Amino acid sequence: MNRREHLAALLAMAAMVLPHRKLQALEAQMEEVIPEYGLIGQMLAQPGQRAALVAILSEATDAMPGNMGYLIGEDSANADAIWIVELWDTKASHAASLELPAVQAAINKARPLIAGFGTRAEFKPVAKARA
């Protein structure tokens, strides 16, 4: 279960036991959570292997404790490049995720499809826009 599904399950359970006003306060508090660590990076696939690389990298993203968001996007200007955006509760959670067996397996499976890496940046999220 990923973080979003976990939070949805918690809210569903809370809805059964909390008065409406307290449930609304809990939902608002959860909406205010801002991750402490972010990472964005470009990964270059071997020619023609972008879709396969995306599929492999998507496999291991469901059960990463502390992960608040993991997005893989196709680069519009380079048919072999992807961008990965990650949001984490802490930098330590990100580092710990790299040791998870599922993540290690995905890395090992993806390695032959990776041609290289482009720009990479770490950042501290400070605000989020309301939808």
| The pLDDT of residue 12 | 60
Percentage of residues in the chain having pLDDT higher than 70: 70
C-alpha span between 123 and 85 (Å, rounded) = 11
On the question of pLDDT at 3 being above 90, the answer is no
pLDDT bucket at 1, cuts 50 / 70 / 90? very low
- What are the residue ranges of helices labelled H in 32-90? 50-59
pLDDT in tens, 42-95: 999 999 999 999 999 988 767 789 888 889 999 999 999 999 999 999 999 999
Percentage of residues in the chain having pLDDT higher than 90: 54
- Candidates 72, 83, 3; CA nearest to 35 is 3
Answer whether 93's CB lies under 8 Å from 67's CB.
Answer: yes
User: 66 vs 131, which has greater pLDDT?
Assistant: 66
